[in-house]
Structure 1
Amino acid sequence: MKKPVQNPREVAEIVAIQALNFIAGDPERLGLFLAETGIGPDTLRKSATDPRFLASVLDFVMRDDATVKAFAKASDLHPTNIAAAREVLGDPRWERDVP
């Protein structure tokens, strides 16, 4: 059985990675995201390890009500949980527990 996640930073990163998967699942949305962030598809996986990039993923999802609602429904999260994850990723006081 998997150990439940308790660390707010880790939970926020999981939400952001779910959001990235949501974005990647729609070619039009993915194209817009890549164009806005300036990264290429080849660097997407590497970028996903950067908390600032993960915060930008959540920014992209949250900028539009329809997108945040669609992601919330797809991920079975409340929109306030998505906003909370974004806040944690943007707060430099939340340091990752592992080096």
Structure 2
Amino acid sequence: MTVVRSLVLFVVAALAEIGGAWLIWQGVREHRGAWWIGAGIVALGLYGFVATLQPDAGFGRILAAYGGVFVAGSLAWGMVADGFRPDRWDLAGAAICLIGVAVIMYAPRG
């Protein structure tokens, strides 16, 4: 159950961080205004909180692994929110990152 909890937290963190950055992007670059920027700031703060709920105690390990989740999640967000179509190299890179997440977070340790 710990691995499932960890994976759910990674997904929630990705939604908060990527969503927050996207909201700020929309507020500034697409001129949608201060409410979008403010919502993005709140979402980014939520990301910082969600990361602390990971079962592993190692800050560096969690943030390093989350980097891989961020890469894959960003491509997925771009596909859903902006119509981005990744090429095979984008997909290969995301897969490599997710393999790295699995090794960093879930490899057996003695």
What band does the TM-score fall into relative to the shorter chain?
0.3 to 0.5
Structure of greater relative contact order (alpha carbons < 8 Å, 6+ residues apart): 1
TM-score (norm 2): 0.31
Report which of the two has the higher share of helix.
2
